Amino acid sequence: MQTHPTIKDGWFREISETSFPGQAFCLKVKRILHSEKSEFQDILVFESESYGNVLVLDGIVQCTERDEFAYQELISHIPLFSHPNPKRILVIGGGDGGVLREVVKHGDTIESVTLVEIDETVIKLSKKYLPNMAKGFDHEKVKVVLDDGFKFLKKVAQENNGKYDIIITDSSDPEGPAEAFFRKNYFELMYNALNDDGIVITQASENCWLNVDKLKDLKKICKQVFPIVEYGYVTIPSYTSGQLGLMCCSKKLQITEPIRKLSTAEESKLFKYYNSEIHKASFIHPTWAKKLIDGN
């Protein structure tokens, strides 16, 4: 019988004194589906009582079948609908395939989607246990590169062509292999890998109910690189405190309202969480949080 140190008495416990001291998140476990230490991280997949299959990396929930669409849709469609003509898309991380599934919904607008994932094991396990997310890998416009995202961006930034309209960083939390994705030089690399009207979005790890100082610091780092920086968020129950932050940066395009819009009927057909109104609402914050994050 498989076991894992995060599971005790039939309950998975997400505990991190670094990221969210003094609190925890728990899910009741039906059965462990897979557990191993890859070359890069500890990977756990389990079937839960109420959230379907769950992917956990280094003890932190990455996605659940019940609510993954909220995060995948918002981190994908905020930048895509903020750009008038997004053709070349780069996804750093996202080995579960969820962002790919959402990006290719933009159809003929998209010419190519490149996903750079360091850990092939995450891709393989997602295809087996999270097929509704991993179906994004099957699209003809998707190319997968097994590489370190930081190193890949260095190569792109040094080239004179082949740059991107949108870069989506769907990384794990800033501990272990994803730590480099929260530093100034990473945002500088993304800036240099973008076209002149490019947009980047990255999961910010925290939310205003947790380490708000880390959000403040991350936004400050982004503003040293990009002229336009906005903090948005998605509500999603399987992330601690029910929210996850999204840091959105642009070279010149505003990103708090969609430039392109679909009809209500089209939105209802394609999306479960995203619509043009929630796009705008995702950048509206409580007064106290806005003051802290903006440094006022």
- Say if residue 45 is in the same domain as residue 179: no
178 and 261 co-located in one domain: yes
Q: Can you say whether the dihedral through the CA atoms of 288, 290, 292, 296 is positive or negative?
A: negative
Q: Is residue 129 part of a domain?
A: yes
What is the distance between the alpha carbons of residues 237 and 244, in angstroms, rounded to a whole number?
Answer: 9
Q: What is the CATH number for 49?
A: 2.30.140.10
Angle between helical axes of 149-158 and 184-192 (0-180°, round to 10): 40
Q: Which residue has the higher pLDDT, 17 or 177?
A: 17
Q: Where are any strands of DSSP class E within the chain?
A: 7-8, 11-15, 24-37, 42-48, 53-57, 60-64, 88-93, 112-117, 142-146, 164-170, 194-203, 228-235, 243-250
Do residues 131 and 200 share a domain?
yes
Q: Mean pLDDT across the stretch 92-96?
A: 95
Q: Which of 170, 173, 196, 217 is catalytic?
A: 170
Same domain membership, residue 263 and residue 164:
yes
> Do 150 and 57 share a structural domain?
no
What average pLDDT does range 223-233 have in this prediction?
A: 96
| Cα dihedral across residues 143, 141, 82, 77: positive or negative | negative
Residue 181 has pLDDT above 60, yes or no: no
Write down which residue in 34, 64, 94 finishes a domain: 64
The whole-number pLDDT of residue 4 equals: 93
pLDDT band per the 50, 70, 90 thresholds, residue 174: very low
Name the pLDDT band for 136 (thresholds 50, 70, 90): very high
Q: Would 2 be classed as within a structural domain?
A: no
Please list, residue by residue across 229-239, b when 16 or more beta carbons sit within 10 angstroms of its beta carbon and e when fewer do: bbbbbbbbebb
Task: Count CB atoms within 10 A of the CB of residue 22.
Answer: 5
Query: What is the pLDDT at residue 180?
Result: 60
Structural domain of 143: 68-294
* Single pTM value for the model: 0.93
Residue 55 maps to a domain: yes
Q: How far apart are CA 270 and CA 131, in angstroms?
A: 18
pLDDT at residue 176 above 80? no
**For 220-226, what is the mean pLDDT?**
94
**Is 242 within the bounds of a domain?**
yes
Q: Indicate whether 23 and 131 sit together in one domain.
A: no
Other CB atoms within 10 A of residue 285 CB: 16
Answer yes or no: is pLDDT of 179 > 70: no
* Last residue within a domain, chosen from 15, 45, 64: 64
User: Are both 283 and 199 inside the same structural domain?
Assistant: yes
Task: Please report the pLDDT score of residue 268 as a whole number.
Answer: 97
CATH number for 268:
3.40.50.150
Task: Report the percent of the chain where pLDDT is more than 70.
Answer: 95
Predicted local confidence at residue 208, as pLDDT:
83
Mean local confidence (pLDDT), 264-293: 95
Residue 158, pLDDT > 90, answer no
Predicted local distance difference test score (pLDDT) of residue 159:
73
Closest alpha carbon to 92 in 117, 71, 109, 113:
117
Domain end, chosen from 39, 64, 89, is at 64
* C-beta atoms surrounding 17 within 10 Å: 7
Buried b or exposed e, range 166-189, using 16+ CB within 10 angstroms: bbbbbbbbbbebbeebbeeebbbb
> Please, is 124 exposed, middle or buried when counting C-beta atoms within 10 Å of its C-beta (0-12, 13-18, 19+)?
middle
166 and 54 within one domain: no
Q: Which two tokens stand for residue 143?
A: 């190319």
Q: What is the mean pLDDT of residues 100-123?
A: 96
User: Percentage of the chain surpassing pLDDT 90?
Assistant: 75
223 belongs to a structural domain: yes
Residues 60 and 91 in one domain: no
- In angstroms, the CA 271 to CA 135 distance is 16
- DSSP for 1-31 reads ----TTEETTEEEEE-TTTSTT-EEEEEEEE
Number of domains in the chain: 2
Calculate mean pLDDT across residues 182-201: 91
Comparing 14-23, 76-85, 220-229, which segment has the lowest mean pLDDT? 14-23
Query: Do 144 and 275 lie in a common domain?
Result: yes
**Per-residue pLDDT at 119 exceeds 80:** yes
Per-residue model confidence (pLDDT) at position 185: 87
Mean pLDDT value across residues 6-12 = 95
Asked whether residue 1 is domain-assigned, the answer is no
> Side by side, which strands form the sheet with 243-250?
142-146, 112-117, 88-93, 164-170, 194-203, 243-250, 228-235
Q: Are 95 and 187 part of one and the same domain?
A: yes
Active site residue 170: yes
In a domain? residue 141: yes
Question: Please, which pLDDT band fits residue 1 given cuts at 50, 70 and 90?
Answer: low
Q: What does the block give as tokens for 14?
A: 């997400």
The whole-chain average pLDDT of the chain stands at 92
Residues 14 and 119 in one domain: no
Q: Which residue in 226, 231, 232 sits closest to 250, CA to CA?
A: 226
Asked whether residue 270 carries a pLDDT value surpassing 60, the answer given is: yes
pLDDT at 215: 86
Residues near 180 by Cβ (< 8 Å), separated by ≥ 6? 150, 186
